[in-house]
Amino acid sequence: MNIAIDGPAGAGKSTIAKKLAKEMGFIYVDTGAMYRAMALYFLKQNLDSSNETEISAAAQAIDISICYQNGEQQVILNGENVTGEIRNEEVGNMASSTSVYPSVRKKLTSLQQKLADSTNVIMDGRDIGTCVLPNAEVKVYLTASVTARAKRRYDELQEKGEECSLEAIQTDIEERDYRDMHRDISPLKQAKDAILLDSSNLTIAQTAEAIQKICQERM
């Protein structure tokens, strides 16, 4: 069974998807971690992120999968566990630079689909229900008002002791929404058969419960 959760930044997709995966015994497919694993491969091959031709060719030799050991996500790159290597800034920058290439996105989409074909998965992102898992049994478009999403991010940063501006966060979210919805490749949009769920006034537990109820109806 495949569950696709799409929606704008700050809607709580990853938090909800991880919680549901744990409760339902599904694999949570961290698409961001997969992009980072691919970026790590490019770095180890000493490739220039601006050279699309080299990056595209190298991407074809990559295999990435996700599994769990003792409840912890493990990212496997060409048979090697690279979980501890993909979270540094250099890898993040390479991932950001190369994820815009159509060949990279196409390769990762095929890897994500391969995972979804072999096990029960929950996947979240911007184009899961529309592009990556168009045949998913459950599709949810999880959203929340800009005000609610900005307040959540503000509270999160405040808890970490970081200085921030609620107004600046809200502006950033509005701009990111526009970019995500108007990008040329796989823009953010609600799949025609996705269920719209607005979590503006819901807690994490209430949102997870609502999606789990949807899943039970489809099983």
Q: Could you report the per-residue pLDDT of 37-75, keeping only the tens digit for each?
A: 999 999 999 999 999 999 999 999 999 988 888 878 899
Confidence bin at 186 (pLDDT 50/70/90): confident
User: What is the rounded distance in angstroms from the CA atom of residue 206 to the CA atom of residue 182?
Assistant: 31
Residues in the chain: 219
**Of 94, 98, 60, 64, residue with least CA distance to 81:** 64
pLDDT value for 93: 85
Amino acid at 208: A
In the three-class reduction of DSSP (H, G, I as helix; E, B as strand; rest coil), residue 62 is classed as: coil
In the numeric block, which tokens belong to residue 208? 């997870």
pLDDT value for 55: 97
Range from 52-61, 92-101, 104-113, 190-199 carrying the lowest mean pLDDT = 92-101
Query: C-alpha distances in angstroms, 187 versus 51, 69, 130, 153?
Result: 24, 34, 9, 23
Residue with tokens 């409840």: 71
Beta strands in 101-213 (DSSP E): 121-125, 138-143, 195-198
Confidence bin at 165 (pLDDT 50/70/90): very high
How do beta strands 80-81 and 72-77 pair?
Answer: antiparallel
Residue range 172-179: average pLDDT? 87
Say what the pTM is. Answer: 0.81
Sequence-ordered list of residues with C-beta below 8 angstroms from that of 154, at least 6 positions apart, any chain: 164, 166, 169
